Amino acid sequence: METITIVGGGIAGLALAAALDAGRFDVTVYEKRPELPGVGNALGMWPNAQRALARLGILDQARVVSPVLGSGSVRNAQGEPWITVDAGDMFGISRADLLQLLDAAVPASVHRITGQIRELPTDGALVVGADGVHSVVRSKAWGPGTDARLTPYLALRGTLPTPVAPDEVGEYWGRGDLFGMAAARGGSFWYASYRSGLGPYGIDVPLVLEQARERYAGHAPSIRRALATATPEACLVQRLWTVPHLHSYVRGRAVLIGDAAHAMMPTLGRGACESLVDAVTLADLLNTLPENQALRAFDIRRRLRTRAVSLASSALGRVALADRGQPLRDRLLNLARRRNKRAAVGSGAGR
Distance CA 305, CA 301 (A): 7
Distance CA 39, CA 25 (A): 32
What's the pLDDT tens digit per position in 187-202? 999 999 999 999 999 9
Distance CA 258, CA 176 (A): 28
How open is the CA angle 17-23-29, to the nearest 5 degrees? Answer: 25
Which segments in the chain show pLDDT lower than 50? none
Which residue type sits at 19? A
Number of H helices, E strands in the chain: 11, 15
Contacts of 76 (CB under 8 A, 6+ apart): 82, 172, 173, 174, 330, 333
Task: Write down the pLDDT at residue 321.
Answer: 97
Distance CA 36, CA 94 (A): 13
* 308-341 as b/e: b if 16+ CB within 10 A: ebbeebeeebebbbbeeebeebbeebeeebeeee
Task: Give the H or E element holding residue 25.
Answer: strand 25-31
The residue among 150, 151, 233, 215 whose CA lies nearest residue 179 is 215
Task: Write down the pLDDT at residue 248.
Answer: 98
Distance CA 192, CA 5 (A): 36
**DSSP class per residue in 236-285:** EEEEEEE-PPPS-SEETTEEE-THHHH---GGGS-HHHHHHHHHHHHHHH
Task: Write down the pLDDT at residue 129.
Answer: 98
Task: Write down the pLDDT at residue 38.
Answer: 63
What's CA 246's distance to the chain center, in Å?
A: 19
